[in-house]
Amino acid sequence: MQISLQYYNFKESSKLVLGQAPNIFSFLTIIAMLLSCHALDTKNSTPMKSWKIISHRSESPWAGFTSSWEEEEKSRIVQSAKPNNNYIEIIQYKEFLFENKPILFQSNKERKVIVDNEYFSDLNRIDATKLNKLERGIIGKAKNPKVLQPEFLLPFLIRSQIIQTLIHTDSELEFIREEDKGNEKWFYFQGEHHYYTNSKNTSLLNFIVTIDYFTQEISIIGE
């Protein structure tokens, strides 16, 4: 007995015929295509309206974990892992929850923050205040295409300070527009961040978050 499965490969509709003992490559191909289809559905969602977000240094999940240069450097990569008993949920902000479930966890013992490997690959924390114009930084990839919903993903990246929008005290940002770029969608932010020397200083902060709905890669570009 044979099983016939219809699927869409983005260029033309074709038919994949699986025998009684289909190989693992066929299954992986099907799964990858289904995930891509779901991600592309997310890309075609209704455009977001403008919104604002204020971030403070004290909100960082790494607060207290970066007392040395070595710890600061270590915190730049958020490991993708399944939390064990050493880790507790980070739930103090709604932006840290996906479908009411925590996806960030911290360990006081290990002085470390991880992201649930069900949802993301390892994530690079990018300092948006230091990006040059058109400089691109790769944040990481989604493992579950549902987290690519911009209504969740963008506030999550900023509130969690995976995208670092301040160097000292706080930042004020506004999402202003989105733009289709082939497989990607670009999300534009503008605002400012504040820091102190002998007095309060303000610097402009503009950047673009990009989501590739085919590869599920998330990046940031300086403006």
pLDDT above 70: residue 76: yes
CA distance 80 to 158: 18
pLDDT of residue 219: 98
pLDDT above 60: residue 53: yes
Mean pLDDT score, 42-48: 69
CA distance 214 to 223: 24
Three-state secondary structure call for residue 161: coil
Lowest pLDDT segment from 88-97, 195-204, 214-223: 195-204
| CB neighbours of residue 182 within 10 Å | 8
DSSP state of 131: P
Q: Record the pTM.
A: 0.79
Q: What average pLDDT does the structure give for the chain?
A: 85
Q: What pLDDT digit, counting tens, does each position of 145-193 carry?
A: 999 999 999 999 999 999 999 988 899 999 999 999 999 999 999 999 9
pLDDT of residue 39: 55
pLDDT of residue 182: 92
144 in Cβ contact with 103 (< 8 Å): no
- Write down the domain spans for the chain: 3-43, 51-77+120-222
pLDDT of residue 11: 42
DSSP state of 190: E
Lowest pLDDT segment from 32-41, 65-74, 114-123: 32-41
Mean pLDDT score, 46-63: 89
Where does the pLDDT of residue 5 fall: very low under 50, low under 70, confident under 90, or very high at 90 and above? Answer: very low
